[in-house]
Each structure stands twice: as C-alpha cells, then as structure tokens.
C-alpha cells in the first residue's frame, strides 16, 4: 500500500513540476511586452552605440584638417601585437632646424585586439575610439588604414 | 555438402569500443576531444585530449610588458575576463608594493561579482540546453544582456574588456554605472525565481542529475577541483573567504558548501552563488568612496627579481598566476594555474560507470571553458 501511494505521489509531483515550468513559458508567450529582441539590420538608422564603445581607433581631425599627433611612436611601442606602424618625415623649420613630423600613421584593424593601450598611452591625446562597428569588407587590404588624413597638419599649440 | 567454418565470434555487446566525443560536439562547449571507452552505453573510462585551441599564451606573455599581458588573460577564460585581469593586476601591485585607492578596490569587487553572475547565467543556459531544455538558453541570455549593457556603457566592450590596469582602472566608471547595477539587481531578483521554476524543480532534470557523477571530498582535494564544483563536495576552497583580496574582507557573504558532491549539488552551488554575488554587490554599490581611479604608476613597470604568486576566485575556481621575474620589464616565466584544467582532470573519475547521456550532464555541471584549459 505504501509503495502504491508513493508511486502516484511521484507522478503527481512530476506533473506539477512540469506545469510550474510551463506556467513561466506560458506567461512570456502571452505577454509580448517583454520581448527584448533588436531588429538589427532594420534599425540601423536609429541604432546608437554607447559613447565609450570601442569600434575602431581613429584620429580626430578638426575643421581645418589638423590633428594632434606628433609622431612620437609611443602608441607603436605600447601596442601588444604590432597593429600600429608610424612612418616619420623630417621638415625644415623657418629657423633652419629640422623637425620630425608624422608622415603616415598606419593602423592594421585586422590585428587590433581593442585593448586601448595606444589611446591610454598617447601623451598628446591624438587617438580616440570610433563608433563604427560594421567592419566586414571583401578585401583584407581595406582593413589597413592610414589614420592621418591626406594634407593634414599638426595643431600649432602641441608641444612635444 | 557445404563446409561450415567456425570463425571465432566476438560478443559485440560485451566488447569495449572507443568513440570520439568532440572536438566538434555541442555539449563539450568548445573544441575538447574526449576519447570515451564504452561498453554498450556505459562509460568505462575517458581520456580528454587537449590542445585544439592552444595559443601559447604563457609563452606570449614572456615578450609582453606587464600592462600588455592584461589583454591576453582576457582570452583565457573569456567568461570571467575581469577576474583574470584582476589576478595579474594584483600580482603586479603586490610585487611593486603599490597601494591602490579604496575606490579602485570597491569598483573592482563590484565588477568581479557582476562578471561572476554573467558567467553563471551563461552556464545556466548551456546546462539547461545540455539537459534538453532550449527555453533556458533564451532566458539566461536575455538576463545576461543586461549585465553586458552595463559593461558596454562603462568599458566599451561586451566580452573582452581589458579594463583593469596595474595600479587601477583604464578610466573611471560611467556616471550611469551605479544606477544600472541597482536596476539590474532589482530585475534579476525577480527573474532568478523563473530559473528555479523552469529548471531546478523540474522532475526530468532532477532525475537525471541526482546521484550522478559523485565526487567525494577527498577526491576533490586530491584532483584540485575548486570553485563551485569543489564546494559541492564540501571542499572549503573559496579564495574570497580564505585569502581575501579587494574588499571581500569587508562584506558579509556566506561560503556555501554542499555535502552530496553530485551533479545536482554542483548545479545548486552556482544558483546559490548568484544570490550571494547579488548580496555582495548590494552592500558595496552605494558605498563606493570618491577618489582617484588609478594609483600613480611609473611609465615602465619593472618587477624586482624574484618569484611571485597571486590567486583569485574566478567563476569556475581558483585562478593562480605565477611569475618569475629577472628584473626586466617582461616576465622571465609566466604560469597560469587555470581552474578548468584541474576540474577536467576529475571528469574521468566521476564519469566511470555512468551512461553516456549522463556524461553530458556531468560535463555541463563542471562548466568548463576550453580556451582556459588549453591557454
């Protein structure tokens, strides 16, 4: 008699536990207000990333096509996997001295691990995070970017 | 008359045979290959083959400076990336005898616990899926998204943050951080009841996990099984309690120990731990002191020559970092004692004599992350 009672009580508790779980799923099924899915490619126009989002490394330029990079190369040495290359150039100053300036700031996006050490270590705040995150391209060479725009120059008040 | 040849007929049902579970198998949660020796459906023995995602992180650390090492530790146990970063930062700070500001300690502790909750949520979903309940997967990921949003707003990335630096933090927390965490705790206290309703009380799940894969306390200690899996066997191994770092010595939380050591107890440990983590965060979130977000550090960090060891409680167990320094800016040798590798070593012992379907349940309850095993 005891085992008979136990048998049915196990069936009862089993069915009860399954119904408890189905109560939760049923509640979500009938309350569409709790849907959290984003319609990603459709909401591209309104999609806004957070301010600190790490999309890619960029070099901000002002409206006169001037940047803050002195070409010192600290970002190149602080990068753990060599995704930054600095090519320097020398120009003649009016007073006869020669001065180093940045020629090309080459950034390999394909090698970047987004650790942020280049941006943190930059003494003149020349680099920043960009919000762009759709990096898919058909050619690998397109992922190598030159961050200083053609014809740009350094802002005058930066002292090395 | 036809001649009858009597070949020696082997009894296929009694013979042992080997199958490969993995490297591409959904229940191994990554590229882990288990060579399982079976007799019928019963597991006789099991041999894990590691190395499919070996990247040589320990060797790579030898060419990197200490701030650069941080971003490599993210890639070991990617589900508790902040806690791995914390281990290296604590080691460098201990070796250089730097005192970090109180604000940094509070923030690090809060973020570690958030990371632990996020990791256990993902474990809960994948464990539910191993048991055959796909609904769990969606509910767990939905709640984890709230933590990832908090992380993304404050640190810019969702999984691999590289947010801690030796001596402090990369940048200060976002002004919305505290409000976001408080909203999440309020939200998740309600939702964790759903977790219990769907999976914990479920009769099928209980029948498949209770009494399966038992690991005794002595075996847990001798195999070095730590974290929630070790505590389920009654092995008091919580580093937060026994060797406190951060501000864990100032908060009130329980180290929950199990007695059974079976798969269901390992499941319950993690469910309890999520609640304990929420308790820790609630005690700290309103009391974050003002101050700097980083201590004053030199531009080039050179550790004095010698050996250093630091351990932290990652979400899967005890993570140890061992460094031999020869006084240069890069380590001479770096070794990680990863929790998953030790936990995996006990899998053979636990799964002898169970059915192969139960092996999936045992593996799910150990919650291994393969990049942490192979490094």
Q: Say which CATH number the domain at B213 has.
A: 1.10.645.10
Q: Inspect the interface and report whether the beta carbons of B203 and A25 lie closer than 8 Å.
A: no
* B162, two tokens: 């590289």
Query: What residues of chain A lie within 8 A of the CB of B199, using their CB?
Result: 21
How far is CA A29 from each of CA A23, B140, B142, rounded to the nearest angstrom?
10, 16, 15
What pLDDT shows up at residue B117? 92
Lowest mean pLDDT among A36-45, A89-98, B228-237: A89-98
Closest CA to B327 of B363, B360, B300, B294: B300
Q: Where are the domains of chain A?
A: 2-34, 56-154
Q: Containing H/E element for A114?
A: none
Answer yes or no: is B366 within a domain. Answer: yes
Q: From the candidates B147, B165, B197, which should be mutated to test the interface with A, based on the most A CB atoms within 10 A? A: B197
Instruction: Please name the member of B68, B157, B204 whose beta carbon is closest to the beta carbon of A114.
Output: B157
Residue B226 · residue B235 · CB < 8 Å: yes
How far is CA B195 from each of CA A130, B318, B319, rounded to the nearest angstrom?
38, 26, 28
Answer yes or no: is B49 within a domain. Answer: no
**pLDDT more than 70, % of chain B:** 97
Q: What is the pLDDT of residues A52-78, one digit of tens each?
A: 888 888 888 888 888 888 888 888 888
Q: Which residue of A has its CA nearest to B173?
A: A52
Residue A159 has pLDDT above 60, yes or no: no
- What's the average model confidence in pLDDT over A80-84? 88
User: For residues B63 and A121, what is the distance between their CA atoms, to the nearest angstrom?
Assistant: 19
User: For residues B176 and B148, what is the distance between their CA atoms, to the nearest angstrom?
Assistant: 14
What pLDDT shows up at residue A89? 81
Residue B219 · residue B233 · CB < 8 Å: yes
User: For residues A142 and A145, what is the distance between their CA atoms, to the nearest angstrom?
Assistant: 7
Q: What is the pLDDT of residues B113-172, one digit of tens each?
A: 999 999 999 999 888 888 887 888 888 888 888 889 898 888 888 888 888 888 888 888
Interchain CB contact of A48 with B (< 8 Å): no
Q: Which residue of A has its CA nearest to B204?
A: A14
Mean pLDDT across chain B: 87
Query: Angle at Cα A141 formed by Cα A138 and Cα A147, nearest 5°?
Result: 115
Q: Largest Cα–Cα distance of chain A, in whole Å?
A: 109
**Residue range(s) defining the domain that contains residue B167:** 54-374
- What's the average model confidence in pLDDT over B188-198? 86
Interhelix angle for B356-366 vs B263-284, to 10°?
A: 20
Q: What is the pLDDT of residues B218-254, one digit of tens each?
A: 988 999 898 888 888 888 888 888 888 888 888 888 8
Interchain CB contact of A113 with B (< 8 Å): yes
Residue B122 · residue B140 · CB < 8 Å: yes
Report the gap between the CA of B154 and the closest CA in chain A (Å). 7
CATH of A56-154, picked from 3.30.460.10, 2.30.30.40, 3.30.70.3270, 1.10.150.170, is: 3.30.70.3270
Helix (H, G, I), strand (E, B) or coil at A160: coil
Q: Is the pTM of this model over 0.90?
A: no
Q: Is the ipTM of this complex over 0.85?
A: no
User: For residues A135 and A56, what is the distance between their CA atoms, to the nearest angstrom?
Assistant: 9
Q: Inspect the interface and report whether the beta carbons of A53 and B156 lie closer than 8 Å.
A: yes
Instruction: Please name the member of B142, B156, B198 whose beta carbon is closest to the beta carbon of A54.
Output: B156
Q: What is the pLDDT of residues A12-30, one digit of tens each?
A: 888 888 888 888 888 888 8
Per-residue pLDDT band for B323 (boundaries 50, 70, 90) equals very high
Lowest mean pLDDT among B15-24, B281-290, B328-337: B15-24
Per-residue pLDDT band for B322 (boundaries 50, 70, 90) equals very high
Instruction: Please name the member of A23, A25, A115 whose beta carbon is closest to the beta carbon of B162.
Output: A115
Mean pLDDT across chain A: 84
Per-residue pLDDT band for B10 (boundaries 50, 70, 90) equals low
What pLDDT shows up at residue B303? 86
Residues 131-160 of A with CB under 8 A from B: none
Q: Which residue of B has its CA nearest to A123?
A: B299
Q: Inspect the interface and report whether the beta carbons of A24 and B194 lie closer than 8 Å.
A: yes
How many domains would you assign to chain B?
A: 1
Answer yes or no: is B42 within a domain. Answer: no
User: For residues A137 and A54, what is the distance between their CA atoms, to the nearest angstrom?
Assistant: 19
A33 vs B98, residue with greater confidence = B98
How far is CA B55 from each of CA B26, B178, B234, B375, rounded to the nearest angstrom?
22, 37, 34, 6
């Amino acid at each position: 008699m005891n085992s008979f009672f136990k048998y049915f009580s196990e069936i009862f508790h089993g069915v009860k536990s399954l119904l408890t779980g189905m109560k939760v799923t049923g509640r979500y099924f009938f309350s569409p207000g709790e849907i959290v899915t984003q319609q990603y490619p459709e909401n591209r126009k309104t999609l806004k990333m957070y301010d600190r989002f790490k999309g890619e490394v960029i070099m901000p330029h002002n409206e006169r096509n001037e940047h803050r990079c002195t070409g010192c190369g600290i970002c190149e040495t602080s990068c753990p996997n060599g995704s930054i290359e600095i090519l320097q150039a020398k120009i003649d100053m009016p007073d006869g001295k020669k001065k180093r300036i940045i020629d090309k700031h080459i950034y390999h996006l394909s090698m970047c691990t987004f650790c942020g050490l280049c941006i943190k270590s930059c003494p003149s705040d020349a680099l920043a995070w960009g919000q762009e995150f759709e990096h898919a391209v058909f050619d690998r060479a397109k992922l190598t970017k030159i961050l200083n725009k053609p014809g740009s120059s350094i802002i005058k008040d930066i002292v090395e | 008359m036809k001649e009858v040849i009597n070949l020696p007929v082997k009894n296929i049902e009694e013979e042992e045979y080997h199958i490969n579970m993995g490297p591409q198998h959904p229940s191994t949660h990554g590229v882990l290959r288990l060579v399982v020796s079976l007799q019928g459906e019963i597991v006789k023995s099991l041999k894990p083959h590691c190395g499919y995602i070996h990247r040589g992180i320990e060797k790579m650390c030898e060419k990197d400076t200490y701030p650069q090492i941080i971003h490599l530790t993210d890639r070991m146990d990617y589900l508790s990336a902040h806690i791995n970063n914390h281990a290296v930062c604590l080691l460098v700070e201990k070796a250089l005898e730097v005192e970090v500001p109180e604000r940094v300690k509070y923030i690090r502790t809060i973020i570690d616990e958030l990371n632990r909750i996020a990791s256990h949520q993902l474990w809960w979903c994948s464990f539910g899926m191993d048991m055959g309940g796909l609904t769990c997967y969606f509910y767990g990921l939905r709640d984890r998204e709230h933590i990832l949003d908090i992380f993304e707003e404050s640190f810019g990335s969702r999984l691999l943050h590289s947010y801690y630096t030796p001596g402090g933090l990369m940048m200060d927390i976002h002004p919305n951080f505290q409000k976001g965490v408080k909203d999440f705790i309020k939200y998740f206290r309600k939702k964790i009841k759903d977790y219990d309703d769907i999976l914990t009380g479920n009769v099928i799940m209980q029948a498949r996990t209770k009494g399966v894969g038992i690991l005794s306390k002595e075996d847990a200690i001798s195999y070095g099984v730590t974290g929630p899996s070790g505590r389920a066997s009654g092995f008091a191994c919580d580093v937060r309690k026994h060797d406190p770092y951060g501000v864990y010595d100032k908060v009130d939380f329980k180290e929950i120990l199990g007695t059974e050591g079976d798969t269901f107890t390992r499941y319950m440990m993690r469910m309890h731990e999520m609640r304990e983590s929420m308790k820790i965060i609630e005690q700290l979130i309103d009391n974050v002191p003002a101050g700097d977000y980083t201590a004053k550090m030199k531009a080039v960090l050179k550790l004095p020559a010698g050996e250093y060891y630091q351990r932290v409680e990652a979400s899967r167990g005890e993570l140890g970092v061992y460094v031999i320094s020869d006084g240069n800016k890069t380590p001479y040798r770096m070794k990680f004692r990863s929790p998953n590798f030790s936990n995996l070593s006990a899998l053979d012992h636990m799964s002898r004599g169970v059915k192969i379907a139960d092996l999936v349940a045992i593996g799910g309850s150990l919650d291994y992350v393969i990049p942490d095993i192979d490094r």
